[in-house]
Structure 1
Amino acid sequence: ECDGLGIKLEVDTDLVVPDASKTLHEGALAPWNPISSNYYPNMLEQAMKVFGVAMDKPFEDLSEEDKNLILYGSDGKEFHFHYENEFGGVRDIDIPFEGVINN
């Protein structure tokens, strides 16, 4: 904890999940809503399928373990991510899920 005159950077989870009654499918995660790209929504859906997290359950009803996975990542545990962008580029890789806040 900083008690000096410096600054401390923290993420406000209420800004990351402004409406916890929404599901992941409904866009509960504000930073990863598909504005110009479906990259992160696709990553989220594939990771949650592997890690067994329901995409159609309100965020507020998810277990603390599932919320922590979504926000802070899989602690190095990998999943297979396949993504094709609108220009035909393909990404096929085994990666850890970084979570919304760490990304």
Structure 2
Amino acid sequence: MEQIIAFFTEHYDKITIVILSIFLGVEIIGRVPSVLHTPLMSGANAIHGVVVIGAIIIMGQAEADNYLALILGFLAVVLGTLNVVGGFVVTDRMLEMFKKKKSANSK
């Protein structure tokens, strides 16, 4: 228990920034009109690409016996990759709505 308290005491400023970033992100995204969600999704894909690269770098530098870092890094890679792929799929489907449809008469 003392190790956990020492960790939070040592990293108090970083934990505070992460928590405030979460609240700020929720507030900003919650106030965005539906029309702008597709451009935001494309921007989020780029950000999640950076998250995947960062997770790979951290996993590469983790010690072999540090299972927590390896598991969290692996989860970050998998979930970040799913988020990027899903974002591109949604963006592609949204952009398909704006393409002209081929009529049955013009074959």
TM-score bracket, normalised by the shorter chain, equals under 0.3
Higher relative strand content:
1
TM-score by length of 2: 0.25
Higher relative helix content:
2
Larger Rg: 2
